[in-house]
């Protein structure tokens, strides 16, 4: 981040974006952690104090975007970064602010899409949402472009008074490549609020909407039609034109080279909204076939097909892509898919792998041990779910569990305890509705599980709704003192800021009490008896309940142990006391990866290389067969 101008460094795409913001002279940066975007703000946080940049982890993406907007209103350069799911969260504010404008400053929004949903619940596409929100959308294809496009985005935003979104995907965000550092802007600005700015859409929002489109058309004509960000490579009149964007461009280039196709042209479009209409139409006139190769939705395909209606019938090419089945409508694209799609159109034979390799891959499940999706060893979420599972079992199987995204979403695989899993905070909102269906015959107890960071992010309105509408629901907050799934970023319950400074703590139990929950209990999930009894009691209560399961994430605990040079406690199974096949509570029911099965002795065994020393298995075993291994 702090290298010299001209240095060539190797870093993530997110590192390049952060460096681009630094070079652009960004003053204000806000975000909510979400893979694959988290490293952008983390990078800026490391230099924030020396560089005079204000950096914050906001409680959610909507607040992050609104806070950045406030900074832009005062003439500063402000940036908000988030993953696609966060982009969904900000849409209401985004469309309103796009209409009003954001004042004299620059406002840049970085959105990280996650094709294939590597760490997300959906693999949506931000590009069409940017188009429908009437904001400018740019997309880099390389790490160098990712860095260079950020200063340009700020310039566009300030020059034309528009929000500029830069879209990236997981493969760019989390891959490493070299990029050259540029000059850092040293321009200082003083925040000044102009009281004469009409930062509202009343009384006639449609007029603001019309003005916005005038500015977007100006950007199209004056900037994007001649932009060097859009690249064409190939013959003047190709037999096949491939239109692509982002990281997919790299796959297309490699595929065309491997197939040695000299009559194929590649048009890479980086200015995704507003599209450079005249430039695209000119390219369409010079070819007879067009293949669209993009992630995830057929955004370019749909938009450019619409543009092509302006061509005469004898100059309209034939289109291929997701809408015609030549490219999959879901998942990531890659080099093999590029080869397959292009080879099919060019009537070339292509195989992604030799038959021998394909056959070996089919046999792999029989050779490689199964790796189930489960919690880390020592994770406090396992005994939490175990407690809920045992309490529901004691309650004759009655208990509907709703949830959302986070480490705890693995509850859907833990004996199927969690019945639904959607967006952040959705579990609480759904529980609120289920808890009011008794008059229609639903008598089952309702439990909502939610993480600590998600609690602050998206749960407060639904929690208020439970109390206000007297919904019979149990809220279980799984507090492991970190936003663990995305990289252990702090949140309002940790007492630390994005820059590591000590700040105010907002205790979860006090928030619940302030909202109006009559019963708020804090338990340690490692205390199984108390945890199971607390959940069971709540299942049989007529009032809304809140239970905070508080225990630090095992990864944080072990990191601190290593720093203190402390050893991890180890446990062993006393074989004579183990009931073997007649029990299997530790390995099957509790389902800890360190509680394995010894086929030779037909007894349980603690795998010390996997054990994190939590010791919960001691209480899980009903036969007192597990105990601490003395040094």
Q: Are 142 and 177 in contact (CB under 8 A)?
A: yes
Residue 464, domain member (yes or no): yes
Q: Is 618 exposed, middle or buried (0-12, 13-18, 19+ CB in 10 A)?
A: middle
Q: Which of 258, 331, 264, 251 is nearest to 291 (CA)?
A: 264
Together in a domain, 34 and 172: yes
Q: How confident is the model at residue 413 (pLDDT cuts 50, 70, 90)?
A: confident
Task: Tell which wins on pLDDT, 518 or 54.
Answer: 54
Q: What pLDDT does residue 66 have?
A: 97
Model pLDDT for residues 487-501, shown as the tens digit of each residue: 889 899 898 899 989
DSSP 59-80: SSHHHHHHHHHHHHHTT-EEEE
Model pLDDT for residues 284-307, shown as the tens digit of each residue: 999 999 999 999 999 999 999 999
Domain boundary among 521, 544, 561: 561
- Using a pLDDT cut of 70, give the percent of the chain over it: 100
* pLDDT beyond 70 at 631: no
Model pLDDT for residues 134-155, shown as the tens digit of each residue: 999 999 999 999 999 999 999 9
CATH number of the domain that residue 267 is part of: 3.40.50.920
Q: Are 511 and 368 in contact (CB under 8 A)?
A: no
Residue 492, domain member (yes or no): yes
The CA-atom distances, in angstroms, between 44 and each of 9, 308, 561 are: 17, 43, 28
Model pLDDT for residues 99-122, shown as the tens digit of each residue: 999 999 999 999 999 999 999 989
Neighbours of 556 (CB within 10 A): 14
Together in a domain, 30 and 167: yes
Together in a domain, 30 and 179: yes
Together in a domain, 571 and 551: no
Cα torsion through 570, 575, 578, 583, rounded to 10: 90
Domain boundary among 193, 224, 255: 224
Domain boundary among 529, 561, 593: 561
Residue 140, domain member (yes or no): yes
Residue where the block lists tokens 């042209």? 265
Model pLDDT for residues 155-197, shown as the tens digit of each residue: 999 999 999 999 999 999 999 999 999 999 987 899 999 999 8
Q: How confident is the model at residue 350 (pLDDT cuts 50, 70, 90)?
A: confident
Of 364-368, 407-411, 426-430, 598-602, highest mean pLDDT: 426-430
Residue 368, domain member (yes or no): no
CATH number of the domain that residue 491 is part of: 3.40.50.970
* pLDDT beyond 60 at 606: yes
Show the CA angle centred on residue 104, arms to residues 99 and 106, nearest 5°.
80
Together in a domain, 331 and 395: no
Residue 322, domain member (yes or no): yes
Together in a domain, 142 and 262: no
Together in a domain, 433 and 548: yes
Alpha-helical runs (H) found in 101-142: 126-132
Using only C-alpha atoms, the chain has a radius of gyration, in whole angstroms, of 28
CATH number of the domain that residue 602 is part of: 3.30.70.20
Model pLDDT for residues 419-439, shown as the tens digit of each residue: 988 988 999 999 999 999 999
Residue 372, domain member (yes or no): no
Q: What pLDDT does residue 630 have?
A: 67
Model pLDDT for residues 21-55, shown as the tens digit of each residue: 999 999 999 999 999 999 999 999 999 999 999 99
User: Is residue 203 reached through a cis peptide bond, with omega within 30 degrees of 0 on the bond before it?
Assistant: yes
Task: Tell which wins on pLDDT, 30 or 378.
Answer: 30
Q: How confident is the model at residue 1 (pLDDT cuts 50, 70, 90)?
A: confident
- Domain hosting 241: range is 231-345
């Amino acid at each position: 981040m702090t290298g010299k101008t001209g240095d060539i460094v190797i870093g993530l795409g997110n590192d390049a974006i952060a460096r681009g913001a630094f070079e652009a002279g960004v003053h204000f940066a806000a975000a909510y952690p979400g893979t694959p975007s988290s490293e952008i703000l983390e990078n800026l946080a490391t230099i924030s104090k020396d560089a005079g940049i204000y950096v914050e982890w906001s409680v959610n993406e909507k607040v992050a975007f609104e806070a950045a907007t406030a900074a832009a209103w005062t003439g500063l350069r402000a940036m908000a970064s988030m993953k696609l799911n966060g982009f969904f969260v900000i849409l209401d504010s985004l469309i309103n602010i796009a209409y009003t404008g954001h004042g004299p400053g620059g406002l840049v929004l970085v959105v990280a899409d996650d094709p294939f949903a590597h760490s997300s619940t959906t693999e949506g596409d931000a590009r069409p949402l940017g188009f429908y929100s009437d904001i400018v959308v740019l997309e880099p294809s390389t790490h160098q472009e990712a860095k260079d496009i950020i200063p340009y985005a700020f310039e566009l935003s300030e020059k034309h008074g528009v929000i500029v979104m830069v879209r990236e995907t997981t493969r760019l965000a989390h891959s490493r490549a070299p990029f050259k550092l540029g000059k850092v802007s040293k321009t200082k600005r003083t925040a000044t609020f102009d009281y004469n700015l009409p930062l509202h859409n009343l009384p006639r929002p449609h007029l603001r909407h019309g003005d916005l489109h005038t500015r977007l058309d100006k950007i199209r004509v004056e900037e994007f039609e001649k932009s060097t960000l859009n690249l064409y490579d190939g013959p003047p009149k190709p037999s096949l034109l491939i239109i692509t964007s982002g990281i997919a461009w790299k796959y297309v280039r490699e595929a065309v080279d491997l197939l040695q196709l000299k009559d194929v042209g590649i048009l890479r479009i980086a200015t995704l909204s507003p599209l450079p209409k005249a430039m695209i139409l000119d390219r369409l006139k010079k070819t007879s076939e067009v293949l669209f190769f993009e992630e995830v939705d057929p955004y370019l395909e749909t938009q450019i097909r619409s543009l092509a209606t302006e061509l005469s019938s004898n100059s309209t090419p034939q289109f291929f892509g997701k809408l015609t089945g030549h490219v999959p409508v879901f998942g990531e694209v890659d080099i093999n898919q590029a080869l397959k799609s292009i080879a099919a159109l060019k009537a070339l034979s292509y195989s992604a792998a030799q038959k021998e390799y394909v056959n070996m891959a089919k046999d792999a499940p029989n050779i490689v041990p199964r790796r189930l999706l489960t919690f880390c060893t020592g994770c406090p979420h396992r005994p939490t779910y175990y407690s809920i599972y045992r309490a529901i079992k004691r309650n004759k199987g009655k208990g509907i569990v709703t949830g959302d995204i986070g480490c705890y979403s693995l509850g859907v695989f833990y004996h199927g305890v969690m019945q639904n899993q959607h967006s952040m905070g959705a579990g609480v909102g759904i529980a609120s509705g289920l808890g009011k269906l008794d008059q229609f015959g639903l008598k089952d107890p309702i439990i909502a599980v939610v993480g600590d960071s998600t609690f602050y992010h998206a749960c407060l309105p639904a929690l208020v709704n439970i109390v206000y509408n007297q919904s019979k629901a149990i809220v279980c907050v799984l507090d492991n003192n970190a936003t663990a799934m995305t990289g252990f970023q702090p949140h309002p319950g940790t007492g630390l800021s994005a820059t590591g400074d000590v700040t105010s703590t907002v205790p979860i139990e006090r928030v619940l009490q302030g909202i109006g929950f009559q019963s708020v209990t804090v338990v340690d999930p490692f205390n199984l008896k108390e945890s199971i009894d607390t959940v069971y009691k709540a299942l049989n209560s007529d009032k809304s309940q809140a239970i905070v399961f508080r225990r630090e994430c095992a990864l944080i605990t072990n990191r601190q142990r290593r720093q203190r040079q402390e050893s991890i406690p180890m446990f062993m199974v006393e074989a004579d006391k183990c009931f073997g096949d007649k029990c299997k509570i530790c390995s099957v029911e509790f389902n800890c990866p360190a509680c394995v099965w010894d086929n030779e002795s037909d007894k349980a065994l603690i795998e010390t290389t996997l054990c994190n020393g939590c010791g919960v298995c001691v209480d899980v075993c009903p036969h007192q067969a597990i105990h601490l291994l003395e040094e």
